[in-house]
Amino acid sequence: MERNNIERRIQLAEFLKIKRAQLTPSDVGFTSGSRRRTPGLRREEVAELAGVGHVWYTWLEQGRTITPSAEVLGRVAGALRLNCDERIYLFRLARPQAGSIASDSSVSVPERIVEMIRSFEHKPAYVRNLRWDMLAWNEAHTKVFGDYSSVPIERRNMLWLLFTEPKIRAMLINWEIVAQQVIARFRADLSKNPEDNRANELKNRLLKTSPDFTRWWRQYRTTEILTHLIELVHPDAGRITLERVTLRTESEPTHNVIIYMPIDKRSMIRLKTLCGHTPNIGGRSRRRASGVPQGAA
């Protein structure tokens, strides 16, 4: 338990330092003196804005073992000008009893969930956990993004593939937007279970492997909801634009079901054609013979 608390406090300390450094005195109505050695606010200035003691705030930023009240933590969030997603992130780390999720060791997906995503014949769909491991996917997902059954299981992770697989990067028109938002969502997911050793190992491997991941991870963005579209140019189908729909399962709170919906008629037709449906003049379609959909990994 102590090791888990240490990891949580490290992440809390890093977040507070970064957010303090991103504010300038003029942002909060202070004058910028000529004797400042580093940009950003001083700890005592954040403490003054939040109405807390300098020593207490220093302990909080150092990751000491303290449990602030919701009211005091709210004042700290206000002093640091945190947005809604950043406030949620701060509260998860500083008050773990308010929203933590137990460690997820399950890699199996209930058969009814697998059957559901298989039923989407021309809509890519997959199941992931908080570590972004790929747990199950359908044939449409394979047709659009590739066959993950051929990827070693230790690398069968959406975050890892996004930053290390050249084919995915080349196919995504808005790769940078997608990558930055996914990092922000992964940070939010990690705050639900900061002691997840495998998630932290994944983060550390990416920090060593990908300069892009490293640069954007250090910006400390976090988001609860992904709002970007998936814009891609498929080598066989051409340009396709997808919108994400995310569902959470009752049986496993750490599992998310992601369904990609075509955003326009052109994308829908190209998806259907790619997945073995040949549209006809009357607007109906007939299915070409195809293989068995992929199931749980």
* Strand residues in 117-234 grouped as ranges (E): 125-128, 134-137, 230-234
Of 43, 9, 45, 7, the residue nearest 26 (C-alpha): 45
- Residues 240, 115: one domain? yes
pTM: 0.83
Asked whether residue 40 carries a pLDDT value surpassing 60, the answer given is yes
User: For position 63, what pLDDT does the model report?
Assistant: 83
**Mean pLDDT over residues 141-152, rounded?**
91
Helix, strand, coil in percent for the chain, rounding step 5: 50, 15, 35
What is d(CA 127, CA 108) in angstroms, rounded to the nearest whole number? 10
CA 197 to chain centre: 17
What is d(CA 293, CA 297) in angstroms, rounded to the nearest whole number? 12
User: For position 164, what pLDDT does the model report?
Assistant: 95
Asked whether residue 261 carries a pLDDT value surpassing 60, the answer given is yes
For 78, the domain range is: 2-98
Asked whether residue 23 carries a pLDDT value surpassing 70, the answer given is yes
Residue that terminates a domain, selected from 54, 69, 98: 98
Residue that terminates a domain, selected from 98, 129, 153: 98
The values of phi and psi at residue 133, to 5°, are -70, 140
What is d(CA 141, CA 22) in angstroms, rounded to the nearest whole number? 39
103 is a domain residue: no
- Residues 275, 147: one domain? yes
- Kind of pairing between the strands at 277-279 and 134-137: unpaired
Mean of the per-residue pLDDT values of the chain: 85
Indicate the number of domains in the chain.
2
Within 10 A of 259 (CB to CB), how many other CB atoms are there?
Answer: 20
246 is a domain residue: yes
What is d(CA 297, CA 295) in angstroms, rounded to the nearest whole number? 6
- Residues 94, 115: one domain? no
User: For position 237, what pLDDT does the model report?
Assistant: 93
Asked whether residue 106 carries a pLDDT value surpassing 70, the answer given is no
- Residues 131, 201: one domain? yes
Q: What is the CATH number of the domain that holds 167?
A: 3.30.450.180
What tokens appear for 272 in the block? 């259907």
296 is a domain residue: no
- Residues 172, 279: one domain? yes
What is d(CA 19, CA 7) in angstroms, rounded to the nearest whole number? 19
Q: How confident is the model at residue 292 (pLDDT cuts 50, 70, 90)?
A: very low
42 is a domain residue: yes
- Cβ atoms of 66 and 60 within 8 Å: the answer is yes
User: For position 83, what pLDDT does the model report?
Assistant: 94
Q: How confident is the model at residue 104 (pLDDT cuts 50, 70, 90)?
A: low
- The number of CA neighbours under 13 Å toward the Cβ of 187 is 25
293 is a domain residue: no
Q: How confident is the model at residue 196 (pLDDT cuts 50, 70, 90)?
A: confident
User: For position 283, what pLDDT does the model report?
Assistant: 42
The values of phi and psi at residue 41, to 5°, are -85, 155
- Residues 190, 48: one domain? no
- Cβ atoms of 142 and 120 within 8 Å: the answer is no
Range of lowest pLDDT (38-47, 83-92, 131-140, 261-270)? 38-47
Helix (H, G, I), strand (E, B) or coil at 103: coil
**Mean pLDDT over residues 120-138, rounded?**
94
Q: How confident is the model at residue 285 (pLDDT cuts 50, 70, 90)?
A: very low
What is d(CA 138, CA 296) in angstroms, rounded to the nearest whole number? 9
Q: What is the CATH number of the domain that holds 12?
A: 1.10.260.40
The values of phi and psi at residue 68, to 5°, are -70, 150
What tokens appear for 243 in the block? 């919108």
